[in-house]
Structure 1
Amino acid sequence: MSYEVVVRVKEVRGRCAAGYSEGDSFSIIGFCVEGRVCIHALSSMLTLLSPFLKGIKAELLGIGSGDLGYVQCPDPGPPYTCGGTVIFELERKLKNF
Structure 2
Amino acid sequence: MDLVIRVKEIIGHCPVYKVGDTFILEKGYKINPEKSCTICMHSLSAIMPYHVALSHGVDPKQIGLTKEGNKAYIQCLDPCKYTGGGTVIFEILTKSD
The runs of 5 or more residues in structure 2 that have no matched partner are none
1:81 corresponding residue in structure 2: 83
- Aligned ranges 1:43-62 → 2 under 5 Å: 43-62=45-64
Structure 1 position 26, deviation (Å):
0.2
What is the alpha-carbon distance in structure 1 between the residues aligned to residue 47 and residue 64 of structure 2?
12
Q: What is the identity percentage for the equivalent residue pairs of Structure 1 and Structure 2? A: 36
CA RMSD in angstroms, aligned pairs only: 1.2
What is the alpha-carbon distance in structure 1 between the residues aligned to residue 20 and residue 69 of structure 2?
21
Q: Secondary structure of 2:94's partner?
A: strand
Is 1:67 equivalent to 2:51 in the alignment?
no
Structure 1 position 67, deviation (Å):
2.9
The runs of 5 or more residues in structure 1 that have no matched partner are none
TM-score, normalised to structure 2's length? Answer: 0.87
For the 8 Å contact 1:67–1:93, the answer to whether it is kept is no
Runs of 4+ in 1 over 2 A off after TM superposition: none
For the 8 Å contact 1:57–1:66, the answer to whether it is kept is no
What is the alpha-carbon distance in structure 1 between the residues aligned to residue 83 and residue 89 of structure 2?
17
Higher strand share: 1
